[in-house]
A and B are shown apart, each in its own frame.
Chain A
Amino acid sequence: SAVISQKPSRDICQRGTSLTIQCQVDSQVTMMFWYRQQPGQSLTLIATANQGSEATYESGFVIDKFPISRPNLTFSTLTVSNMSPEDSSIYLCSVDGGRNIQYFGAGTRLSVL
């Protein structure tokens, strides 16, 4: 299993600003994943963060809007840049805990005014 600490748990931000979300895992993992759930929608994968290389973004997500850092095997950040109200979502990080199970953080609930 893996224990994931994610912060902030929630934030209210102004349009045009940026927010950085942090994710700390209690064990070393090769890949970390960032998801988003917009209101009324499904959890959707934004990108996969590998330590020592550029993140891999899914269709519809770009590095300029969602820059990701992965400085070591236990930590990652996701920045939501130049925010607009459409970015209001729950953002979650996750890791593969083995045996096909993914473990998630508790999420960051972001509201953009």
Chain B
Amino acid sequence: ILNVEQSPQSLHVQEGDSTNFTCSFPSSNFYALHWYRWETAKSPEALFVMTLNGDEKKKGRISATLNTKEGYSYLYIKGSQPEDSATYLCASRNYGGSQGNLIFGKGTKLSVKP
């Protein structure tokens, strides 16, 4: 059984603060690590997909890193804005799993106050 763990569970920051979240995942048979952003009543939006150890990806003020040897990924948001308020999900996919079988963490709920 695979467990993907995310921390913190929730986070409240002020506009302009920078923040980061952690995702830990089993490193054996690792294939890919996904980050999604999920706003209430909307579709989860894919942010990053990372496969290689040491991968770093950036999209605007959001960036992510991947360490497959120790099984963790960090998501960073620089200068948080109220529109960044959402739940951030990470999900791991392993070799041998079915194509759709992403193993999700419970998410980090971010609230950014103006």
Contact = CB atoms under 8 A, between A and B. Distances in A.
Nearest to B32: A100
Question: Looking at chain A's contact residues, is the secondary structure mostly helix, strand, loop, or mixed?
Answer: strand
A44 B104 contact: yes
B15 to A, nearest CB: 27
A42 B43 contact: no
Contacts of A106: 41-43
Contact of B101 (A45, A92, A99, A107): A45
B47 to A, nearest CB: 10
B62 interface: no
A99 B100 contact: no
A58 B44 CA distance: 21
A41 to B, nearest CB: 7
Nearest to A100: B49
A104 B38 CA distance: 10
B4 A101 contact: no
Given A43-B104, A99-B49, A100-B49, A107 B43 contact: yes
A37 to B, nearest CB: 8
B51 interface: yes
Contact of A103 (B43, B102, B104, B106): B43
Interface of A: 4, 9, 31, 33, 40-45, 48, 56, 58, 92, 94, 96, 99-107
Interface of B: 4, 32, 34, 36, 41-44, 46, 49, 51, 89, 91, 93, 98-107
20 contacts: A4-B43, A31-B100, A42-B4, A42-B103, A42-B104, A42-B105, A43-B91, A43-B102, A44-B104, A48-B100, A94-B100, A96-B100, A100-B93, A101-B46, A101-B49, A103-B43, A103-B46, A106-B42, A106-B43, A107-B41
